[in-house]
């Protein structure tokens, strides 16, 4: 009987140890999976930032029929600050032409359809009268807030010519 009591206690202790080890491994697995998900999201965000850079560089060429001296290689999108979770807090888009430069800042706290107007630098009487950018957010049901559907850049020159570049984002960019 005494031997059976020891055996029962040993089995119970063994089962308890297995349960504890199983729980610990489960917790570790959850933490590991979460860390991997976080790393994947951060990597995905970095890739999407490259995507939007390429899109903006490419879509700047839509201005070329209007402005032969548009320098698409100088068109760039740069992330300035992030909250560490992949959400873009502030950024700027800068476009450069041979005779004029302008920049536009925007932040995530502005409304989806607000336009930001700013005078552009002018050189040799070659003036960019105004430039604006519209960030259109995806408002479809089920889409988390802050997902960008498209970016529209409008440039109005002093002589009245307007250049409109609409950049649709197939991969949502968190901004």
pTM for this model (two decimals): 0.29
Distance CA 152, CA 169 (A): 11
Distance CA 139, CA 169 (A): 14
Interval 113-147: pLDDT, tens: 223 222 222 222 233 445 555 666 777 787 766 66
Arithmetic mean of pLDDT over the chain: 47
Residue with tokens 């290689």: 73
Q: Which two tokens stand for residue 35?
A: 């860390």
In the prediction, which pLDDT does 115 show?
Answer: 30
Distance CA 96, CA 75 (A): 6
First to last CA, the chain: 71
pLDDT-derived band at 63, boundaries 50, 70, 90: very low
The C-alpha angle 39, 105, 95, rounded to 5 degrees, equals 95
pLDDT-derived band at 169, boundaries 50, 70, 90: low
Interval 73-85: pLDDT, tens: 333 333 333 344 4
């Amino acid at each position: 009987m005494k031997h059976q009591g020891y055996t029962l206690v040993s089995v119970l202790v063994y089962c308890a140890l297995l349960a504890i080890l199983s729980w610990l491994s489960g917790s570790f697995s959850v933490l590991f999976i979460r860390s991997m998900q976080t790393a994947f999201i951060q990597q995905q965000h970095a890739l999407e930032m490259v995507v939007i850079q390429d899109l903006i560089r490419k879509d700047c060429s839509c201005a070329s029929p209007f402005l032969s001296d548009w320098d698409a290689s100088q068109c760039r999108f740069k992330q300035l600050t992030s909250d560490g979770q992949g959400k873009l807090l502030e950024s700027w888009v800068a476009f450069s032409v041979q005779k004029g430069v302008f920049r536009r800042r925007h932040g995530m706290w502005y409304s989806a359809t607000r336009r930001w107007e700013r005078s552009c630098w002018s050189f040799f009487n070659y003036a960019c009268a105004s430039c604006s950018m519209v960030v259109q957010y995806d408002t479809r049901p089920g889409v988390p807030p802050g997902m960008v559907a498209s970016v529209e850049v409008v440039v109005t020159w002093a002589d009245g010519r307007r250049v409109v570049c609409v950049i649709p984002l197939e991969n949502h960019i968190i901004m």
